[in-house]
Amino acid sequence: MITGSIIRIKETGIYGVVANKVNEDKVEIYIVAFDAPYSYDEKYNIEMTLSVFEQTVYLDICNKDTIEPDNLVTIGEVDKFYLEKISRLEILSKVENYYDLFHADKDRDFIPKVSSVSYGGRVYDEKEMRSLVDSSLDFWLTAGRYNKQFEQEYANFLGVRYALLTNSGSSANLLAFSALSSPKLKDRQIKPGDEVITVAAGFPTTVTPIVQNGAIPVFIDVDLGTYNILVDRIEAAITPKTKAIMIAHTMGNPFEIDQVIEIASKYNLWVVEDNCDALGSTFKGQLTGTFGHIGTSSFYPPHHMTMGEGGAVYTNNALLKSILESFRDWGRDCWCPSGCDNTCNKRFGWELGSLPFGYDHKYTYSHIGYNLRVTEMQAAIGVEQLKKVPSFTQARRHNFSRLLEGLKDLEEFFILPRATRDSDPSWFGFILTLRDGVKFTKNEIVAYLEAHRIQTRMLFAGNLTRQPAFQHVNYRVSGGLTNTDKIMHDTFLVGVYPGLTVEKVDYMIETIRRFVLEKK
């Protein structure tokens, strides 16, 4: 009697399927039901058509019994298709149980000064773990069914035509800018020596793709409080060499994108929105990342959803989509997904470059590209994380509002963060800048918070032009970077991510207040 044997219990006439042999005296079986369960849950139930029965039967993998072998009669075997489904459900139910035992309550108890209050981190439940293991059982590994599902659902969520997964947000930025260097864009192609409007107060990989493609970043200062580009300085920075604007929605706070788009349209400039810190943010009711020609996202753990690593690049432009896909997938000209051939129906009918006619289109390359693809396991996690983005966004806004309310009477000490007009940010963090003349330094308050187990971060690079990596980079500054330098010296942030409880948020408020009032 082997696993998957269909049996009848002699004494009762009940039918079952052998789950496994416990020992010589006991066999574990699933009970077969002839009526659909009152509450049918696909996580535990499977609907089967088996040749030994004249009707559809149902199996609940949680409905098991242990029977003596002598009381069983074998009447058939479950075919491999259903046996695989049964085995898979069994494994996934155990994964769910594992989550409940070892992951569900790991951050339950908070002890001030002992427990860490992180600025960001993973928020997940058993669904992500089930999805991850489910993908691993397929052992497809590279992009497959989950990748396709996520790309479609992410595009639908954002309200764009195309979304492509990649291995990080930084790679998404690299793809976004590299796509603009494609010869397929003809007179709008960005070439070495062309200029790109951006800011120095931010994360380096918003800017490094500009440098890596031989273009020249033109840095403009930012506003203190919103930490976004001073839009009224953009036009003065534009020259005949200017081809694009590439900036981020800082800390999830949208920049004044209506004005940016208006300027870009006036001068025929590309707009790349680095949306890595802003998933779920809106400007005039529209999700950020969807206004410009290309948007990017990051799924690194502190961000608004996670795959561990991972990112996405998205657009409404069909030509840009094909170019982005080419750069992501080795620079190839072919658009067949993994495991598929001849989507174009003329795989051996092309003549491109100086290749001979009929050279295999799967090995024809139209760009100097990369391999920046994501794994199927990452995409599987993303499918479940994406469902949580609305609740994550709500939690970030709630935590931000609680911090702002708790610290609003400290405005004589700090420039408090404020939302851009017409926006509803999904905040990445709660950012504070020391006012001139206060009796403490950024380093002192950061050290105090860290000593009390409250994790802090800077506004990323502070001022990129001061970073070692940019000492020999060809860039231009338009109008000075006074506020950017102040951010480098006087700005830090604490977290608002969904894993923070009210108790932790209140502890941050109390600790910041205690430090400031002691220094007053």
Identity of the amino acid at 327: F
The CA angle 413-417-423, to the nearest 5 degrees, is 160
Q: Which of 293, 303, 304, 361 is catalytic?
A: 303
Q: How far apart are CA 377 and CA 132, in angstroms?
A: 5
Q: Which residues pair with 168 in a beta bridge?
A: 310
Identity of the amino acid at 94: K
CB-CB contact of 4 with 78 (8 Å): yes
Q: How far apart are CA 431 and CA 206, in angstroms?
A: 19
CB-CB contact of 278 with 428 (8 Å): yes
What does each C-alpha distance from 345 to 348, 350, 361, 363 come to in angstroms?
A: 9, 10, 10, 15
Identity of the amino acid at 384: E
Question: Of 186, 180, 183, 217, which Cα lies nearest the Cα of 202?
Answer: 217
Which two tokens mark 419? 């939302």
Secondary structure E strands in 231-310: 242-248, 270-274, 282-283, 286-287, 294-298
Residue entry with tokens 């100086």: 354
Q: Output phi, psi for 204, to 5 deg.
A: -60, -35
Q: Which residues of 255-292 are buried (b: 16+ CB within 10 A; e: fewer)?
A: bbbbebbebbeeeebbbbbbbbbbbbbbbeeebbbbbb
Rama region for 161: left / alpha / beta (φ>0; ψ in -120 to 50; rest): alpha
User: What sign results for the dihedral spanned by CA atoms 178, 179, 184, 185?
Assistant: negative
Which two tokens mark 341? 């051939």
Q: Output phi, psi for 311, to 5 deg.
A: -165, 180
Q: How far apart are CA 440 and CA 515, in angstroms?
A: 10
Question: Of 168, 200, 73, which Cα lies nearest the Cα of 378?
Answer: 168
Q: Which residues pair with 248 in a beta bridge?
A: 274
Active site residue 303: yes
Q: Which is it for strands 476-477 and 216-220: parallel, antiparallel or unpaired?
A: parallel
**3-state secondary structure (DSSP) of residue 244:** strand
**3-state secondary structure (DSSP) of residue 417:** coil
Question: Taking the chain, what is the end-to-end CA distance rounded to the nearest angstrom?
Answer: 80
The set of catalytic residues is 303
